[in-house]
């Protein structure tokens, strides 16, 4: 039974993403050529609504309890979220944490952007949708990654765009192999040996934070700590077999932009200090599972979750039937997929780079006509 539940969960997550891509994102492409801001708004609403579905699926089907404590995320400001990367499946449990943590009138369209490995953008379905929702894909080569971050920050500033940006500063998930490498790095550089986290990579975070501060569009940095109290789902195969944690703790600490260091070196030190605090917090959780850490954040209105659960399951059925029986639907889906694959071949960071170029082209044309 557990294996069936695990399979059903993974099936629903993956194929509702595909359904959303085919039925919602594909038809929306022409909007980008009319207004970047409108395109961003609509795609953010869709993606946020899917986050509600993932939250509902984990709660209704898996019965996983997630306790969220600390500082609420303000949906009216741009925020950077930094989080320990305990497993490859962390994002499954991040959605419900954000559902409870995000507050404000714009919550329904306040989507989360990810800083991800470049290879992920090529994954059919999830990788494509992440591109269309403006996540960043880095190549682990600073010459390229610096340019990607610069253009991303400039685009956010130009649109006066509000979102949260999630970074895993450790760069990879916590395993025996990665822990050993982290310890070797700590010994070589005379740093503290961590037991529950890996030493963070500070360059990307410091540069991104500094650029957003310069653009005056960063509201705060949130330190997110996730702790699995029983089962630790290290990879997707564990979830597929139905081995889900029954209880998870997530804690958030807010650091307003005015309190952040104003230099990249200072921001690097700031992140290193956060990871030392995170190590102590995880040690407290490990030694005392009943450890309470501040105000509990909980969204009591589950109506949106129920609506999302019904909507996305219906969309999954509709998309499957349409793909089988509606020729025009198949043509539109295949043409959009071919277009996106082509964009990935010609633009080094994927669709979001294309989106930014469309905006710059429209702005230059407007300026030329105006003057």
Q: What are phi and psi of 325, to 5 degrees?
A: -110, -15
Cα distance between residue 270 and residue 274, in whole Å: 6
- Report percent pLDDT > 70 for the chain: 98
> Which pLDDT score, from 0 to 100, does residue 6 have?
92
DSSP helix/strand/coil, 57: helix
Question: For the chain, which residues make up each domain, given as ranges?
Answer: 2-370
Residue 369 is predicted with a pLDDT of 58
Q: What is the pLDDT of residue 68?
A: 95
Cross-strand partners of 67: 249
* C-alpha angle 296-299-304 in degrees, rounded to nearest 5: 160
* Predicted confidence (pLDDT) per residue in 162-183, tens digit: 999 999 999 999 999 999 999 9
Indicate the length of the chain as a whole number: 371
Q: How far apart are CA 171 and CA 178, in angstroms?
A: 10
User: Is the separation of the CB atoms in 116 and 137 below 8 Å?
Assistant: yes
Residue with tokens 């990871």: 275
Average pLDDT of the residues in 87-101:
94
Residue 345 — pLDDT band, cuts 50, 70, 90? confident
The pLDDT assigned to 198 comes to: 95
Closest CA relative to residue 280, chosen from 269, 295, 291? 291
pLDDT in tens, 103-149: 998 899 999 999 988 888 888 999 999 999 999 998 888 888 999 89
Mean pLDDT over each residue of the chain, to the nearest integer: 91
CB 47 within 8 A of CB 76: no
When pLDDT is cut at 50, 70 and 90, the band that residue 210 belongs to is very high
The number of beta carbons lying within 10 Å of the beta carbon of residue 348 is: 13
Determine the angle formed by the axes of helices 351-370 and 142-159, rounding to 10 degrees. 50
Question: How would residue 349 be classed by pLDDT, with cut points 50, 70 and 90?
Answer: confident
Encode pLDDT of 149-161 as tens digits. 999 999 999 999 9
* pTM, entire model: 0.93
Residue 368 has pLDDT above 90, yes or no: no
- Please report the pLDDT score of residue 288 as a whole number: 82
pLDDT at 367: 64
């Amino acid at each position: 039974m557990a294996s069936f539940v695990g399979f059903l969960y993974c099936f629903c997550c993956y194929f509702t993403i595909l359904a959303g891509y085919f039925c919602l994102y594909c038809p929306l492409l022409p909007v980008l050529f009319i207004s970047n801001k409108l395109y961003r708004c609509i795609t953010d609403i869709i993606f946020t609504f899917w986050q509600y579905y993932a939250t509902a699926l984990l709660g209704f089907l898996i019965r996983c309890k997630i306790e969220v404590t600390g500082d609420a995320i303000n949906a009216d400001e741009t925020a950077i979220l930094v989080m320990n990367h305990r497993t490859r499946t962390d994002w499954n449990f991040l959605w419900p944490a954000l559902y409870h943590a995000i507050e404000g009138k714009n919550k329904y369209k306040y989507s989360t952007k990810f800083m991800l490995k470049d290879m992920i953008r090529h994954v059919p379905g999830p990788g494509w949708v992440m591109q269309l929702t403006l996540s960043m894909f880095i190549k682990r080569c600073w010459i390229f990654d610096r340019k990607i971050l610069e253009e991303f920050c400039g685009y956010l500033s130009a649109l006066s765009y509000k979102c949260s940006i999630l970074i895993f500063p450790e760069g990879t998930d916590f395993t025996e192999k990665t822990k050993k490498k982290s310890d070797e790095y700590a010994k070589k550089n005379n740093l503290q040996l961590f037991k529950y986290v890996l030493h963070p990579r500070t360059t990307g975070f410091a540069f991104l934070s500094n650029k957003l501060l310069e653009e005056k569009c960063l509201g705060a940095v949130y330190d997110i700590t996730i702790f699995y109290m029983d089962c630790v789902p290290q990879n997707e195969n564990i979830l597929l077999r139905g081995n889900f944690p029954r209880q998870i703790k997530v804690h958030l600490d807010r650091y307003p932009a005015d309190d952040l260091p104003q230099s990249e070196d200072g921001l690097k030190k700031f992140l290193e200090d956060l990871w030392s605090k995170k190590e102590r917090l995880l040690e407290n959780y490990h030694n005392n599972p009943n450890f309470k850490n501040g105000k509990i954040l909980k969204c009591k209105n589950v109506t949106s979750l129920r609506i999302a659960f019904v909507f996305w399951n219906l969309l999954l059925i509709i998309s499957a039937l349409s793909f089988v029986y509606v020729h025009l639907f198949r043509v539109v889906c295949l043409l959009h997929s071919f277009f996106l694959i082509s964009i990935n071949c010609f633009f080094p960071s994927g669709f979001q780079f294309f989106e930014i170029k469309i905006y710059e082209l429209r702005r230059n044309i407007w300026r030329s006509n105006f003057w």
